[in-house]
Structure formats: C-alpha cells, structure tokens
Amino acid sequence: MDDLGWGFWLKLFGIFIGGAILLFIFTMLFLHAVYAWGLFATFLVLAAIALFAGWMFDRKNARHTEGSV
C-alpha cells in the first residue's frame, strides 16, 4: 500500500468526503420531498427527472446505425 503515495490517498479521501456530502444533500432533499408530496409523487418526480436526463443523453449521443431510420 505504501507504493501508491500520499497524493493518491488524499485524492481518494477527498472523493469519499465529497460523495458523502452529496449523498447527505440528496437524502435530505428526498426526505423533504416525501414529507411534502408523499412517497408516490416523489417517485414520479424522480422518474420524470431520470427520463429527462436519459432523453438529453440520447439526444447528445445520437448516432445513425445500420438498422435505424
């Protein structure tokens, strides 16, 4: 483990702390949405956000393949 150096471990620690902070923020937003709208409406909003993100990703990475129109 000593071969990786301090820089690697500091970067890994930073990524871990950043991920923990983002997870905490997401959890607080999710729980607030559940409290305000209910569980079903919260999942509908999350599904709409996921569908929009997928649509944007597909638009950005659209490629014409052999079988496509």
pLDDT of residue 33: 93
Query: Residue 68: its pLDDT value, please?
Result: 60
Residue ranges for the chain with pLDDT beneath 50? none
Cβ neighbourhood burial of 30 (10 Å; 0-12, 13-18, 19+) = middle
pLDDT at residue number 61: 86
Q: Are 34 and 26 in contact (CB under 8 A)?
A: no
Specify the pTM.
0.64
pLDDT at position 5: 87
